[in-house]
A and B are shown apart, each in its own frame.
Chain A
Amino acid sequence: MSKIEKHKAYWRQNIKYLSILLFVWFAVSFGCGILLKDFLNRYSLGGFKLGFWFAQQGSIYVFVVLIFLYMYLMNRLDKKYGYIDN
């Protein structure tokens, strides 16, 4: 694989990870916490209405997980393509 192709393949994979993670980012906050709130509020999680829980708790937990997941995926990708500084 030439340098340029390698570069392109790496970037494509990065964009793929970004799209998936940002989809989840959008789904938990704007989706579950805002647009679907009224629907989800019919269900409950312990003492929380579900939509309310997503808006004030759940989305934040997912955000933290997303960033660490991205870090893990990218570190793995960097290693695969040898883009690592010593």
Chain B
Amino acid sequence: MSVQLWTWILVGISFALYFGIAIWARAGSTKEFYVAGGGVSPLANGMATAADWMSAASFISMAGIISFAGYDGSVYLMGWTGGYVLLALLLAPYLRKFGKFTVPDFIGDRYYSNTARTVAVICALIVSFTYVAGQMRGVGIVFSQFLQVEITTGVIIGMAVVLVFAFLGGMKGITYTQVAQYCVLIFAFMVPAIFISIQMTGSIIPQIGMGGRVEDGTYLLEKLDNLHTQLGFKEYTEGSKSTWDVFAITLALMAGTAGLPHVIVRFFTVPNVKDARKSAGYALLLIAILYTTAPAVSVFARTNLIETVSNQEYSTMPEWFKNWENMGLIAWSDKNEDGKIQYVNGEATTGKPEFTEERGANGERIIVNASTETNELYVDRDIMVLANPEIAQLPAWVIALVAAGGLAAALSTAAGLLLVISTSVSHDLIKKQLKPDISDKGELLAARLSILVAVIVAGLFGIYPPGFVAAVVALAFGLAAASFFPAIVLGIFDKRMNKQGAISGMVVGIILMLFYMIRFKTGLIGVLEPLPESKWWFGTSPEGFGTVAMFINVIISVIISRLTPAPPKSVLKIVESIRIPSGAGEAQSH
């Protein structure tokens, strides 16, 4: 059977499964809609959290990025897993005990202020929208690549599918669908990784294969380091970022992970505090399976790629090479006219390759923007995971499986984020501020309508991506780290923290982060060009600046809170109560 046919079959089966679950788990009340009724088992919640968390970026892009960045890619591995430790130890149990629906709920009650609640809602919306815009684009790309349709059509199909899940089931439907999506995506990621690990190192476990020996007896990593040195790349196991920047980016990603509203809200869905702790453990365990395999995939893919292309005749390239070239994700220009591919350090093109309709002497697609550097080959990072099974010549069903997995990853994350956006609007804004007397039914309707609006807006971002979306997604973590994370942690651990302190900290944190992003990364569209790296403050990249903004947030919060009146008694009681895991403990202490 062909790859195409297999793709239709596997994607079809997995989608039938998701729809079946969405219909079975329809939400009837706002509690079911927002937090799945609060009765999800820790393991199911762990799986849903893992699927929610692992987006198209984790599934498709991360191994590719690490493959090209080597040691520098560690920031994503440690950052996106280490954040769960912060979440499990500093946030999840207490927020579960607090027992309301959303992060702005906590901020609003803990800081006894609707201003604080509004600031939190705005931060939640900024963070979630920057994040979801990138996801919808991801959904579109995956659909278009595997179903052979235009990206716009792909985004529209994706919008329709997400809408059905979220509309019908709310958090309940999404949670149980995500359980299924976790199974699909982890299976789809592991199968090719295991195949390739056996092929290259003889080890059935990729995490061990990564440190194993290849056929000629040398260690795989040593071999890759040597290949890199020969071709003028930095050694794979050494980085090129400064130690401070690696430190800052890792910390920003960790605190950002712990502060992302769509991740935090997960811990409101389990029955009690004990289960919240357990659930965080399961979530990280299930995430770690992918996150420890990804760097192994990166090493396998990198080695395979170099060995297949370096100094080989273009005419001998396998079919996958030409397929990806036809899609514009691989480009080659024969700069020294020897018919061979010189793949060495340096940019092969200036920016993304621009193709003409013509073919060159060897049959390659002619590009107009080849650079003057020696390197002749451009490879898009995003293809490493998708192309890996083809490069390793695995059977057609494995290649098709990767398609189903990529879709599961993109859809589950998009659905989770859209739900947070709709909750922010229907619950935090309408119910808590604009129209407190709204009925349960009315609120449910408002929630569903705001999902509809959110899907359409996110879809438009996906179809007409403003150039800054891709750049901004990574910064969503910086925004979350700079705004929510300190306010929540201080709210639990610092009894003296009051509304003045928390609000000024959040406002300064998020504005500073937005300012730095605009100044150094995205520019102010059409008005201000981003400044170059040499102007970074203390050599901190925009991705790592969340760490700096977070510390400034904390310092400002603490100073201002000490200069202003202490929080009222009723708030101290809330803090006392969330620190004790049992409901009985709360009742006795009054």
Binding site for B on A (CB under 8 A): 3-4, 7, 10-11, 14, 18, 21-22, 25, 29-30, 33-35, 37, 41, 45-49, 52-53, 55-57, 59-61, 63-64, 66-68, 70-71, 74-75, 78, 82-85
B74 and A48 within 8 A (CB): no
**Best-surrounded residue of B211, B219, B250 (most CB of chain A within 10 A):** B211
A41 with B292: in contact, given A21-B89, A63-B81 (CB under 8 Å)? Answer: no
Q: Which residues of B contact A78 (CB under 8 A)?
A: 274, 581-582
B285 and A64 within 8 A (CB): yes
Q: Which residues of B contact A45 (CB under 8 A)?
A: 211
A67 and B237 within 8 A (CB): no
A63 and B295 within 8 A (CB): no
B260-310 with Cβ < 8 A to chain A: 272, 274, 277-278, 280-281, 284-285, 288, 291-292, 295
B247 and A63 within 8 A (CB): no
A56 and B77 within 8 A (CB): yes
Pick 12 A–B contacts, CB within 8 A, sort by A.
Answer: A3-B589, A7-B585, A18-B89, A25-B86, A49-B221, A55-B74, A57-B210, A67-B281, A68-B285, A74-B93, A74-B277, A74-B581
A53 with B211: in contact, given A25-B82, A29-B250, A63-B85 (CB under 8 Å)? Answer: yes
A52 to B236, CA, bound (A): 10
Q: Which residues of B contact A37 (CB under 8 A)?
A: 71, 243
A66 to B285, CA, bound (A): 11
Q: Which residues of A contact B71 (CB under 8 A)?
A: 37, 52, 55-56
A22 to B78, CA, bound (A): 14
Minimum C-beta distance from A84 to chain B (A)? 6
A61 to B272, CA, bound (A): 26
Q: Which residues of A contact B237 (CB under 8 A)?
A: 41, 49, 52
B184-213 with Cβ < 8 A to chain A: 207-208, 210-213
Inter-chain pairs besides A41-B238, A60-B78, A67-B85, 16 sampled, C-beta below 8 Å: A3-B588, A22-B85, A25-B85, A37-B243, A52-B71, A56-B66, A56-B71, A57-B207, A60-B81, A60-B291, A67-B84, A68-B285, A71-B88, A71-B277, A84-B274, A85-B274
A84 with B250: in contact, given A34-B243, A70-B277 (CB under 8 Å)? Answer: no
3 closest A-B pairs by CB: A47-B219, A55-B74, A47-B211
A55 and B77 within 8 A (CB): yes
B250 and A30 within 8 A (CB): yes
Minimum C-beta distance from B261 to chain A (A)? 21
B247's partner among A7, A34, A66, A74 (CB-CB below 8 A) is A34
A20 to B284, CA, bound (A): 20
A47 with B78: in contact, given A67-B280, A67-B284, A70-B277 (CB under 8 Å)? Answer: no
B322 within 8 A of A: no
**Best-surrounded residue of A21, A49, A82 (most CB of chain B within 10 A):** A49
Q: Using CB atoms, name the residue of chain A closest to B93.
A: A74
A47 and B281 within 8 A (CB): no
B583 and A85 within 8 A (CB): yes
B507 within 8 A of A: no
Minimum C-beta distance from A53 to chain B (A)? 7
| Tally of B interface residues using CB under 8 Å | 54
Q: Using CB atoms, name the residue of chain B closest to A46.
A: B211
A70's partner among B77, B88, B250, B285 (CB-CB below 8 A) is B88
Q: Which residues of A contact B208 (CB under 8 A)?
A: 46
Q: Which residues of B contact A66 (CB under 8 A)?
A: 85, 89
A85 to B273, CA, bound (A): 9
A71 and B247 within 8 A (CB): no
Minimum C-beta distance from A85 to chain B (A)? 5
A35 with B247: in contact, given A18-B89, A57-B292, A63-B85 (CB under 8 Å)? Answer: yes
A65 to B114, CA, bound (A): 39
Q: Which residues of A contact B88 (CB under 8 A)?
A: 67, 70-71
A85's partner among B213, B243, B582 (CB-CB below 8 A) is B582
Q: Which residues of B contact A10 (CB under 8 A)?
A: 579-580
Minimum C-beta distance from A39 to chain B (A)? 12
Q: Using CB atoms, name the residue of chain B closest to A78.
A: B581
Q: Which residues of B contact A67 (CB under 8 A)?
A: 84-85, 88-89, 277, 280-281, 284
A68 and B292 within 8 A (CB): no
Q: Which residues of A contact B74 (CB under 8 A)?
A: 33-34, 52, 55-56
Minimum C-beta distance from A74 to chain B (A)? 6
Q: Which residues of A contact B579 (CB under 8 A)?
A: 7, 10-11, 14
A7 and B82 within 8 A (CB): no
Minimum C-beta distance from B236 to chain A (A)? 9
